[in-house]
Amino acid sequence: MLTKYQRFFTGRPTEEIARSLLGKLITYTSVDGSKTGGLIVETEAYLGENDSASHAYNGRRTNYSESLYGNPGNIYLYQIRGHYCFDVVVQDAEEPQGVLIRGLEPTVNQKQMTINRGMSGFNLSNGPAKLVQALGIHSRELDGHPLETSPLTIDLTAGRKPRKITTTSRIGVNLKGKDGRKPYRFYVKGNPYVSGLRKREMNLEDYGWEG
């Protein structure tokens, strides 16, 4: 029986789940008890075995990607080109779909996040590897853990509402693949912590949030 928290991550299309995560609050509590975090401003949906950009495309299953086949709401923490990235596992167990967290607006202990990254400004967390480093995560230790009970978690009850959500194709995938140009990337329009956003596209007044 899935918990109420887990049910948030299944029972509807992965693209819809990816959109609904925008504005939700991610926090990470380190072993020394310090907390970092921020609002999700950019996500990408990966649709499993039939998605040419997915780690599970054509049924590919390895020890490394095994967490993708776990319960909805679990963490898939993987390394690419020496950097760590973070997906939320979605859909039922054995259905390897996920949502990549691509951009984060820092709101919890930004000073520590700056120390973790050795960098400030919008480059602090405007990319999937950047935000993981800014949170203070430097290993795959949490891979496969449920967000609901993990030091890395998403608060589904708090956050902010985007004024407008922009949909585009995903970044960094093989554009020649059959799904390379599918519109599976979602972000808060104008938020300066969205990866690759040009200055003229940034809304520096309210960062694209309502209220």
Q: DSSP class of residue 126?
A: S
Residues 6 or more apart whose CB falls under 8 angstroms from that of 202 comprise: 122, 190, 191, 192
146: how many CB neighbours lie within 10 A of its CB?
18
CA distance 52 to 54: 6
Contact indicator for 116, 136 with CB cutoff of 8 Å:
yes
User: Over the stretch 156-201, which tens digit does the pLDDT of each residue have?
Assistant: 998 999 999 999 999 999 889 999 999 999 999 999 999 999 999 9
pLDDT surpasses 90 at 211:
no
Q: How confident is the model at residue 146 (pLDDT cuts 50, 70, 90)?
A: very high
Taking the CA atoms of residue 185, residue 188, residue 193 and residue 195 in that order, the dihedral angle to the nearest 10 degrees is: 20
Backbone phi, psi, residue 140, to 5°:
-95, 20
List of residues 6+ apart from 72 with CB closer than 8 A: 2, 6, 7, 8, 9, 10, 89, 90, 91, 92, 93
Q: 4-191: what CATH class? A: alpha beta
* Ranges of each domain in the chain: 4-191
CB atoms within 10 A of CB 211: 6
The answer to whether residue 94 scores a pLDDT higher than 90 is yes
Contact between residue 77 and residue 86 where contact means Cβ atoms under 8 Å apart? yes
Q: Please give the span between the terminal C-alpha atoms of the chain, in angstroms, as a whole number.
A: 37
pTM: predicted TM-score of the whole model, two decimal places: 0.96
Compute the distance between CA of residue 34 and CA of residue 15 in angstroms, rounded to an integer.
33
Note the pLDDT tens digit of each residue in 51-87.
999 999 988 899 999 999 999 999 999 999 889 999 9
Answer for the pair 84, 138: CB distance below 8 angstroms, yes or no: yes
